[in-house]
Chains A and B, each alone.
Chain A
Amino acid sequence: MDSISDDRQQRITVLAALIILCIVFSVGSRYFLTVDNILLTLYQTAVTGITSYGILFVIITQAVDLSLGSTIAVGGCICAALLTKGVPAFVAVGTALICGAAIGIVNGFCVAKMKLPPFVATLGMQMVLRGLVLVATNAKPIYLTEGNFKQFAQYKLFDLIQLPVIYLILLGLFSWFILRKMVIGRHLFAVGSNEGAARLSGIKVDRVRMFAYGYCGVMAVFAGCVLTARVNSGQPTIAVGYEANAIAACVIGGASMSGGKGTIGGTILGAIIMGVLLNGLNLLSISSNWQTVATGAVVIGAVYLDRMRHLKES
Chain B
Amino acid sequence: MGEVILEMRGITKEFPGVKALNQVHFAVRRGEVHALIGENGAGKSTLMKILTGIYKPTAGELIYKGKPFFPNDPKHAQTEGISIIHQELNLLNDLDVAENIYISREPRKYKNVLIDDKRMHESAGKLLKRLGLDIDPYEKVRNLSVAQKQMIEIAKALSVDSEVLILDEPTSALSEKEVQVLFGIIRKLREENVAIVYISHRLEEFDQIVDWVTVLRDGSYVDSCSWKEQTIDNLVKQMVGREITEQFPKRHAKIGEVVFEAKDITQKRLLKKVSIQVRAGEVVGLAGLVGAGRTELARAIFGADHIESGEFLLGEKSVKIRCPDDAIRSGIVYLPEDRKKDGVFLDQSVAMNITIANLRAYAKNGVIREGAYQEAIQEKIQDLRIKTPSVSQLAQFLSGGNQQKVLIARWLCRNANVIIFDEPTRGIDVGAKYEVYSLINRVAENGAAVIMISSDMAEILGMSDRIVVMCEGKVTGELNGAEATQEAVLHMASDTNKDMRKVV
A260 close to B345 (CB less than 8 A): yes
Chain B 297-331 interface 0/1 with A at a Cβ cutoff of 8 Å (1 = within): 00000101000000000000000000111011100
A84 at the interface (CB under 8 A from B): no
Nearest CB in chain A to that of B335: its residue: A200
Whole-angstrom distance between the Cβ of B102 and the nearest chain A Cβ: 26
Nearest CB in chain A to that of B362: its residue: A183
B393 close to A200 (CB less than 8 A): no
| Complex interface: chain B residues within 8 A of A184 (CB) | 366
| Complex interface: chain A residues within 8 A of B352 (CB) | 186, 189-190
Main secondary structure of the interface of A (DSSP, over half): helix
| Sampled A-B contacts (21; CB under 8 Å) | A1-B16, A1-B17, A1-B397, A2-B17, A2-B389, A3-B349, A4-B392, A182-B367, A184-B366, A186-B359, A190-B345, A190-B348, A190-B356, A193-B348, A194-B341, A197-B345, A198-B356, A199-B324, A200-B336, A202-B329, A202-B357
| Complex interface: chain B residues within 8 A of A198 (CB) | 345, 356
Whole-angstrom distance between the Cβ of B177 and the nearest chain A Cβ: 30
B394 at the interface (CB under 8 A from A): yes
B467 at the interface (CB under 8 A from A): no
Contact of B359 among A3, A4, A183 (CB under 8 A): A183
Chain A 196-217 interface 0/1 with B at a Cβ cutoff of 8 Å (1 = within): 1111111110000000000000
A201 CA / B354 CA spacing, docked (Å): 10
Please list the residues of chain B having a beta carbon within 8 angstroms of any beta carbon in chain A.
15-17, 302, 304, 323-325, 327-329, 334, 336, 341-349, 352, 355-357, 359-360, 363, 366-368, 389-390, 392-394, 397, 410
Whole-angstrom distance between the Cβ of A309 and the nearest chain B Cβ: 11
| Complex interface: chain B residues within 8 A of A3 (CB) | 349, 392-394
A202 close to B325 (CB less than 8 A): yes
| Complex interface: chain A residues within 8 A of B393 (CB) | 2-3
Whole-angstrom distance between the Cβ of A164 and the nearest chain B Cβ: 28
Nearest CB in chain A to that of B328: its residue: A202
**Given contact pairs A197-B342, A200-B324, A200-B334, A183 touches B348 in the complex (Cβ within 8 A):** no
A193 close to B324 (CB less than 8 A): no
B366 close to A182 (CB less than 8 A): yes
B344 close to A194 (CB less than 8 A): yes
B334 close to A189 (CB less than 8 A): no
A2 close to B347 (CB less than 8 A): no
| Complex interface: chain A residues within 8 A of B342 (CB) | 194, 196-197, 200
Nearest CB in chain B to that of A256: its residue: B347
A159 at the interface (CB under 8 A from B): no
Tally the A-B contacts, defined by beta carbons under 8 Å: 92
B357 close to A196 (CB less than 8 A): no
Chain A 173-200 interface 0/1 with B at a Cβ cutoff of 8 Å (1 = within): 0000000011110110110011011111
Top 6 A-B residue pairs of the complex, sorted by shortest distance between their CB atoms? A202-B328, A193-B345, A201-B357, A202-B325, A183-B359, A183-B363
A261 at the interface (CB under 8 A from B): yes
Nearest CB in chain A to that of B393: its residue: A2
A187 CA / B366 CA spacing, docked (Å): 11
Whole-angstrom distance between the Cβ of B229 and the nearest chain A Cβ: 40
Main secondary structure of the interface of B (DSSP, over half): mixed
A146 at the interface (CB under 8 A from B): no
Nearest CB in chain B to that of A183: its residue: B359
**Given contact pairs A1-B394, A2-B390, A2-B392, A201 touches B324 in the complex (Cβ within 8 A):** yes
| Complex interface: chain A residues within 8 A of B410 (CB) | 201
- Most B CB within 10 A of own CB, among A186, A187, A189: A186
- Additional pairs, 11, CB under 8 Å, beyond known A183-B366, A186-B355, A202-B357: A183-B359, A186-B356, A194-B344, A194-B346, A196-B341, A199-B323, A200-B302, A200-B336, A202-B328, A203-B357, A260-B348
B356 close to A203 (CB less than 8 A): yes
| Complex interface: chain A residues within 8 A of B344 (CB) | 194, 197
**Given contact pairs A1-B394, A201-B410, A202-B328, A182 touches B368 in the complex (Cβ within 8 A):** yes
B347 close to A193 (CB less than 8 A): yes
A3 CA / B388 CA spacing, docked (Å): 13
Nearest CB in chain A to that of B370: its residue: A181
A187 CA / B368 CA spacing, docked (Å): 12
**Given contact pairs A1-B394, A3-B394, A313 touches B347 in the complex (Cβ within 8 A):** yes
A4 CA / B352 CA spacing, docked (Å): 14
| Complex interface: chain A residues within 8 A of B367 (CB) | 181-183
Whole-angstrom distance between the Cβ of B491 and the nearest chain A Cβ: 33
| Complex interface: chain A residues within 8 A of B346 (CB) | 193-194
Whole-angstrom distance between the Cβ of A198 and the nearest chain B Cβ: 8
| Complex interface: chain B residues within 8 A of A201 (CB) | 324, 328, 356-357, 410
Whole-angstrom distance between the Cβ of A311 and the nearest chain B Cβ: 13
B324 close to A202 (CB less than 8 A): yes
A216 CA / B352 CA spacing, docked (Å): 24
B394 close to A200 (CB less than 8 A): no
A181 close to B343 (CB less than 8 A): no
Whole-angstrom distance between the Cβ of B454 and the nearest chain A Cβ: 19
A175 CA / B348 CA spacing, docked (Å): 20
A181 CA / B369 CA spacing, docked (Å): 8
| Complex interface: chain A residues within 8 A of B390 (CB) | 2
| Complex interface: chain B residues within 8 A of A199 (CB) | 304, 323-324
A184 CA / B410 CA spacing, docked (Å): 18
| Complex interface: chain B residues within 8 A of A204 (CB) | 323, 325
Whole-angstrom distance between the Cβ of B350 and the nearest chain A Cβ: 10
Whole-angstrom distance between the Cβ of A185 and the nearest chain B Cβ: 8
| Complex interface: chain B residues within 8 A of A189 (CB) | 345, 348, 352
A203 CA / B393 CA spacing, docked (Å): 23
- Most A CB within 10 A of own CB, among B302, B329, B345, B347: B347
Q: Which of A1-29 contact B (CB under 8 A)?
A: 1-4
Whole-angstrom distance between the Cβ of A192 and the nearest chain B Cβ: 9
| Complex interface: chain A residues within 8 A of B327 (CB) | 202
Nearest CB in chain B to that of A201: its residue: B357
**Given contact pairs A190-B348, A260-B347, A1 touches B15 in the complex (Cβ within 8 A):** yes
| Complex interface: chain B residues within 8 A of A4 (CB) | 392
Nearest CB in chain A to that of B302: its residue: A200
Whole-angstrom distance between the Cβ of B61 and the nearest chain A Cβ: 25
| Complex interface: chain A residues within 8 A of B347 (CB) | 193, 260-261, 313
Q: Which of A137-182 contact B (CB under 8 A)?
A: 181-182
- Most A CB within 10 A of own CB, among B329, B352, B390: B352
**Given contact pairs A2-B390, A4-B392, A190-B352, A200 touches B343 in the complex (Cβ within 8 A):** yes
| Complex interface: chain A residues within 8 A of B334 (CB) | 200
A202 CA / B304 CA spacing, docked (Å): 10
| Complex interface: chain B residues within 8 A of A194 (CB) | 341-342, 344-346
A200 close to B356 (CB less than 8 A): no
| Complex interface: chain A residues within 8 A of B368 (CB) | 181-183, 186
A184 CA / B367 CA spacing, docked (Å): 9
| Complex interface: chain A residues within 8 A of B394 (CB) | 1, 3
A200 CA / B397 CA spacing, docked (Å): 22
| Complex interface: chain A residues within 8 A of B360 (CB) | 183
A2 CA / B334 CA spacing, docked (Å): 29
| Complex interface: chain B residues within 8 A of A190 (CB) | 345, 348, 352, 356
Q: Which of A106-124 contact B (CB under 8 A)?
A: none
A85 CA / B328 CA spacing, docked (Å): 51
| Complex interface: chain B residues within 8 A of A186 (CB) | 352, 355-356, 359, 368
- Most B CB within 10 A of own CB, among A2, A193, A202: A202
| Complex interface: chain A residues within 8 A of B349 (CB) | 3
A38 CA / B174 CA spacing, docked (Å): 66
